[in-house]
Amino acid sequence: MTDSAAIRLDDALLQRRLVDTGLFAAVHRVESTGSTNEDLLEAAGNPEAGSPVPHLSVLTAEQQTGGRGRQTRSWVSPQGASLSTSVLLRPSLPVVQRHWVTLCVGLGLVRALRSREIPAALKWPNDVHVEGRKIAGILAAIPPRDSEAVVVGCGINVLINRQQLPTPTATSVILELSRAGQEAPTPGSAAAGQLRSALLCDWLEEVAVLLERVRQYGSIEPIRSEIVSAISTVGQEVRLELPDGSAVRGEAVAVEYDGALTVEVRSRRRAVRETGNGGIQETLWHAERTPRRESFHAGDVVHLRPIGGPA
């Protein structure tokens, strides 16, 4: 049985490492909420608050019951088993570069996981995977009444065992520690709570360091190459599902300056059509006579799947 007190985040540690050091303006922990992203978005957009939510404000929840991922997919975190955390940022970046903030946050997590010998990588546009297994998802949104801010939320599977995984292609920190031959804490133990607290601090400290480099330069350039090198999608054969029901296949060859993924398209499928009796009739794939490069922004893509690997 899970001991909720043992696995609860250590408020004193969070305060000491993240706030007292001056890295973050504030770190608030709640027991349960629908969505940490929605809570911060609402706070930032509240005209009665008197003053804007400060840059580098953090909200983390022991349990999240109504989170949302890309394409409004639901995301729920069990009590004390994950890290459900959002950060409000006021990045000193040109608007054209703000899409890189999500990847910057993801790179911070990749670095924190790799320091534990977990071979994490970014999956374009906003997931963190370990050899094709999803360990975290990231989502950014702009508050409706505070266009200078961006809220970036991240859900990290930490103490989830194999039976609790949301999909067969997901993973968690304790599973990857065991896979790497390291001792993983038993869920419900004090060591499990220490792992959650330490990982949250390590990740956010990495994010703060990366964002400070961006602030000093006034551009994403100091860390852009690090981000791109951490994206495992580049070089893979992929299938991109598009909003109109069509899809393309090809090799992901580059991430462009504006954050778009460039794919050398070799075949495409027109929109999936419904038959009159309610069945689905899928148009056949057609090979391109000459492969051509096309770029896709995150909002252009419903789902990206590696061909021949986990979704």
Q: What is the pLDDT of residue 287?
A: 92
> Which one has a higher pLDDT value, 212 or 73?
212
Q: SS in 3 state form for the chain?
A: CCCHHHHCCCHHHHHHHHHCCCCCCEEEEEEEECCHHHHHHHHHCCCCCCCCCCCCEEEEEEEEEEEECHHHCEEEECCCCEEEEEEEECCCCCHHHCCHHHHHHHHHHHHHHHCCCCCEEEECCCEEEECCEEEEEEEEECCCCCCCCEEEEEEEECCCCHHHCCCCCECCHHHHHHHCCCCCCCCCCHHHHHHHHHHHHHHHHHHHHHHHHHHHHCCCHHHHHHHHHCECCCCCEEEEECCCCCEEEEEEEEECCCCCEEEEEEEEECCCEECCCCCEECCCEEEEEEEEEEEECHHHCCEEEECCCCC
> Which of 243, 96, 78 minimizes the C-alpha distance to 170?
78
Q: Which tens digits make up the pLDDT trace of 99-155?
A: 899 999 999 999 999 999 999 999 999 999 999 999 999 999 999 888 889 999 999
Fold of 4-229: BirA Bifunctional Protein; domain 2 (3.30.930)
Rounded to whole angstroms, the Cα distance separating 240 from 238 reads 6
- pLDDT band with cut points at 50, 70 and 90 for residue 71: very low
Q: Which two tokens stand for residue 145?
A: 């009444």
Q: Taking the domains of the chain in order of start, what are their residue ranges?
A: 4-229, 237-306
> Which of 203, 179, 175 minimizes the C-alpha distance to 81?
175
Q: What is the pLDDT of residue 248?
A: 96
Q: Rounded to two decimals, what is the model's pTM?
A: 0.90
Q: Which two tokens stand for residue 217?
A: 């330069």
Q: What is the pLDDT of residue 296?
A: 96
Mean pLDDT of the chain: 89
CATH pick for 237-306 out of 2.30.30, 1.10.357, 1.10.287, 3.40.50: 2.30.30
- pLDDT band with cut points at 50, 70 and 90 for residue 284: confident
Sign of the alpha-carbon torsion through 210, 121, 306, 250: positive
- Say yes or no: do domains 4-229 and 237-306 share a fold: no
Check pLDDT > 50 for residue 246.
yes
CA 214, distance to chain mean position in Å, is 19
> Which of 37, 81, 75, 76 minimizes the C-alpha distance to 62?
81
- pLDDT band with cut points at 50, 70 and 90 for residue 50: low
Q: What is the pLDDT of residue 282?
A: 58
Q: Which tens digits make up the pLDDT trace of 19-35?
A: 999 999 999 999 999 99
User: What interhelical angle do 221-229 and 100-114 show, nearest 10?
Assistant: 60
Dihedral angle computed from the Cα positions of residues 18, 30, 73 and 309, in that order, rounded to the nearest 10 degrees: 50
